[in-house]
Structure 1
Amino acid sequence: MATSLGVEQRYSLITRRLELQNGWSAQELQKRLHEGRDIKYHWVTAPTGKPHIGYFIPLIKFADFIRAGGQVTVEFIDVYAFLVNYKFPWDQVQHRTTYYRSLITAALTAVGVPLSKVPMAQMSHYQTNPQFNVDFWKMCALCSQQDCRDTGAEVSGSSMLSPLLTPILQELGEEYLDVDVQVGGLDQRGIFNMGEQFLPQLGYEKRVHLMNEMLPSLTGGKMSSSHPAHTKIMFLDDPDTVRDKIAGALCQAGNIEQNGILPILKHILFPVSELRSVHLQEVEGKKTDGTNGINGVGHGSKRPFAAEGAPEGTLFSVAAPTSECNSNAYIHYQTYEALEQDFLQQRMTSEVLKDAVTAALNDVLTPIREVYANHQEWQDSDRLGYPEDWLAV
């Protein structure tokens, strides 16, 4: 066993900040943990438009899975991307796959998730298996068009055949990559329902499904790669662009419902800061297990987003209302909920909160930008996968 945590501790760590697909998923996950099994997780990403920082939410969560004794297979579902986004040629999809692989690798490293615990797979590579083709045909014979359309908006509104095939391909990946749990956004619920219904009809195990929150856009609604640039922050946005986008985000003091900044704190910055804090506690405690982080969790070499001199346990510091005699005052937070409550009570302005978020987010993104600047293959895949971004350069 790769962890000394008990079953309930592992279950709590695995499921925090996530929604279980249904009661069966909760029971099955508990059962597998009681059996002493190390859980194998599956996260898929389709190389279509360029990823935005909402992708941090599942990537950060990998650290919890690994601390609980598991490993996470990242699958780049290139066939899915080609079929659902059929206007782009296959060769371009392959360049986008390289772009995604480079970006996900850099992002995982930046937040301190050990790559040794994150094997990567590509959909088109294992689909050459003859048995896969047989299972695909069987699934096509079992599923109605409506079953496929019910999996989500990306499929339901299409008049083309190819998008209807994509949920079948995704769910067969659970079997062919030999995983226990698939993790996805809340928008994956329909696809997960399809897998739970039809995989057992092929004689395969029904998998556990976990879902993470989706990051809203800076101006309201879901953050999406297809939305205008000012509504989302991209991984490779430069520091000034990040600052300008956050400055223009919806963030009225006292309003926690319609807010584009608080979700970044809740779902990205506080979890990253916690990972950094865990690593520092380990380093300062002179770790004895010989790993590069607690139970194998990565280096996370930077400090939490706490001001110098902050109390122990601080995960985020925000400038306080200042006076002439105290220009370096901060409010320190150990939990997101405490910060949200202060914002609701207007104990801080939106301007100081935006400044703190800008600094913290740029701190997380800087090493990713640096990798890109020195990674010729990544740059080439950017140019070939997204030529429209280079037309004005």
Structure 2
Amino acid sequence: MASLTPAQKYNVISRNLQEVLGKDQIESILAERDLNIYWGTAPTGKPHLGYFVPMTKIADFLEAGCHITVLIADIHAFLDNMKAPMELVGKRAEYYTQLIKATLTSIGVPTERLKFVQGSSYQLTAEYSLANMKICSKTTEHDAKKAGAEVVKQVEAPLLSGLMYPGMQALDEEFLGVDAQFGGVDQRKIFVFAEKMLPRLGYKKRAHLMNTMVPGLAGPKMSASDSNSKIDLLEAPEDVKRKLDKAFCEEGNITENGILAFVKTVLFPLRSMNGKSPSFSILRPEKFGGDVVYTNYEDLENDFKDKKVHPSDLKKAVTEAINNLLAPIRKWFDTEELRKLTEEAYPTPKPEVTAKPVKSNKPAANANLPVDISRIDIRVARIVEAKVHEANPNSYISTVDCGNGDVRTVVSGLAKYIPLEEMQNRLVCAVCNLKPGKFQGVQSSAMLLAGSSADDSVVELLQPPAGLEAGDVIEFEGYGQLDRSLPEKLNPKHLIFEKVSEDFKISPEGLALYKDLQFKTKAGPVTLKSLKEGRIR
């Protein structure tokens, strides 16, 4: 805006961002003219509440006089391991365009000052295709996979389409003619890749603006593909309440709290727009402290940390705030035309027709075997190496030696509880005859047994005694040894392990037990480091 100096414009552009790459470059441009920025979104799953974060920043960019292009990246949606089938991409692009306009309008942002572009309008041209071939010729598989690690869906055998994704996002900066690209901090590796690769093609390096990510209701990131972690922008009021009622919100816990994070990253910034004084109200009976109005987030966070605000009161206030926020967006889509578009973009799944099973008098294999510890292959194993899962910081991916050359990959949700250094080169107890399956995008072939306190505040790996080797057996008195030369692979549908593990527990002496039987090895019993009661899973 004409009334702002270049320095003031930069402050508006950069406020509430997590990181800026190219600050000097932006300031140099602002000294001469207004900034050209693009923000892109791939029309995959339905947009969620996290979209309010980039919407508030778009409002800031407009206040600073920037020219904004909104890229509806339809080709990218298909390339990202086909999250959006090609036959649905066009309708989803229309759906996203309407929903983004509705969301911006609901918070008072004038959409007529924005330029909406679909990626397919230029990404299918001969000029773009040639540039894409050039960037492919200068990009290694390793660099492409690394750049897209936090954005492109990761699979064990990545498709070439996913590897093309980062290069095309970098080229978009050149073909849209912008000075900077704006996105979430999860895009950082792609942004760094773009800064490295564009000059190699003779194009100028752009600046990059990154906003913080909104944590999910049940995970580290609100995701369009995980219905349990997010609230859609068209979610019904009763569904908003149901999801927030179920969301993790431990009393006094401010570090793993998606609800508090939403208040911080969305509600307070929205209520601060256009110079307004923000406020957030907690309404409650006098006997529980009475109503309180917060004019800054820090006071709310401190009161929650000190347990002056109860989780149920916070959830109630946020539920009301979200439903008020979503009401105008729901109204925008309450037309026959947009209801039809929604169904075309996200058609209601048809029930699968399955053939009726042929009845047989022959009993199923293992149907008459007892459901007890004799069915479970538990061995001493050694973690050779462990690393944090790239897509989920709460999980580890471990290489585990189960003995006699049997080395497996294991995914475990232990990163929240056990430091990485404690996972390296240590003995553990591993369940080795569960049917392998995909877990968080990685094939996992065993389970590491851990004990936990009743409230899950303490989690520890089971601890075999010293002097054992990977592959040593764990026995239970009175039960015969499992034939490990040809062990039964337990079908997860039959819930054998789940039923048996109901009888796992920790003794007051810190011993691992099945019913009242010790987990025994030739060197002594399996123990827990500090837990004296709790469960094993």
TM-score (norm 2): 0.62
Give, in angstroms, the shift of residue 6 of structure 1: 2.1
Q: Deviations over 1:275-334 (max 9, x none)?
A: 2x63xx6xxxxxxxxxxxxxxxxxxxxxxxxxxxxxxx342122255149xx9x532222
Structure 2 residue aligned with 1:257, among 255, 258, 261? 255
Name the CA distance, whole Å, in 2 between partners of 1:375 and 1:13. Answer: 39
Give, in angstroms, the shift of residue 381 of structure 1: 2.7
1:34 — aligned with what?
A: 31
1:78 — aligned with what?
A: 74
1:209 — aligned with what?
A: 208
Structure 1 residue aligned with 2:282, among 304, 314, 318? 318
Conservation of the 8 A alpha-carbon contact between 2:56 and 2:269: yes
RMSD between superposed Cα atoms in Å: 2.1
Structure 1's 336 and 87: CA in aligned 2 closer, same or farther, altered over 3 A? closer
Conservation of the 8 A alpha-carbon contact between 1:265 and 1:357: yes
Name the CA distance, whole Å, in 1 between partners of 2:272 and 2:351. Answer: 41
Q: Deviations over 1:312-370 (max 9, x none)?
A: x342122255149xx9x532222111211121122221111111111111111001111
Q: Deviations over 1:120-177 (max 9, x none)?
A: 0011101244322221121111111112111122265452111111111111111111
Name the CA distance, whole Å, in 2 between partners of 1:211 and 1:351. Answer: 32
In structure 2, stretches of 5+ residues that fail to align are 353-537
Name the CA distance, whole Å, in 2 between partners of 1:319 and 1:88. Answer: 42
2:312 — aligned with what?
A: 351
Name the CA distance, whole Å, in 1 between partners of 2:351 and 2:70. Answer: 31
Q: Please say which structure displays the higher CA radius of gyration.
A: 2
* 1:330 and 2:291 are equivalent in the alignment: yes
Name the CA distance, whole Å, in 2 between partners of 1:380 and 1:205. Answer: 43
Structure 2 residue aligned with 1:373, among 334, 355, 359? 334
The structure whose residues are more often strand, as a share, is: 2
2:399 — aligned with what?
A: none
Q: Percent of counterpart pairs with the same letter? A: 40
Structure 1's 264 and 155: CA in aligned 2 closer, same or farther, altered over 3 A? closer
Q: Secondary structure at the match of 1:43?
A: strand
Structure 1's 56 and 268: CA in aligned 2 closer, same or farther, altered over 3 A? same
Q: Secondary structure at the match of 2:228?
A: helix
Give the stretch that moved more between structures: 161-170 or 5-14.
Answer: 5-14
Structure 1's 194 and 230: CA in aligned 2 closer, same or farther, altered over 3 A? closer
Conservation of the 8 A alpha-carbon contact between 1:3 and 1:67: no
Conservation of the 8 A alpha-carbon contact between 1:215 and 1:223: yes
Give, in angstroms, the shift of residue 21 of structure 1: 4.7
Name the CA distance, whole Å, in 1 between partners of 2:272 and 2:125. Answer: 42
Conservation of the 8 A alpha-carbon contact between 1:185 and 1:211: yes
Name the CA distance, whole Å, in 2 between partners of 1:103 and 1:56. Answer: 11
Structure 1's 7 and 160: CA in aligned 2 closer, same or farther, altered over 3 A? same
Whichever residue aligns with residue 163 of structure 1, its letter is G
Conservation of the 8 A alpha-carbon contact between 1:321 and 1:348: no
The structure whose residues are more often helix, as a share, is: 1
Q: Secondary structure at the match of 2:169?
A: helix
Q: Which one has more relative contact order, counting CA pairs under 8 Å at least 6 apart?
A: 1
1:222 — aligned with what?
A: 221
Whichever residue aligns with residue 258 of structure 1, its letter is E
Q: Deviations over 1:8-61 (max 9, x none)?
A: 222221111213354xx12212222223x2111111111111111111111111
Structure 1's 197 and 339: CA in aligned 2 closer, same or farther, altered over 3 A? same
Conservation of the 8 A alpha-carbon contact between 1:48 and 1:85: no
Q: Secondary structure at the match of 1:387?
A: coil
Name the CA distance, whole Å, in 2 between partners of 1:192 and 1:177. Answer: 15
Give the stretch that moved more between structures: 364-373 or 9-18.
Answer: 9-18
TM-score (norm 1): 0.83
Structure 1's 267 and 50: CA in aligned 2 closer, same or farther, altered over 3 A? same
Give, in angstroms, the shift of residue 88 of structure 1: 4.8
Conservation of the 8 A alpha-carbon contact between 1:155 and 1:164: no
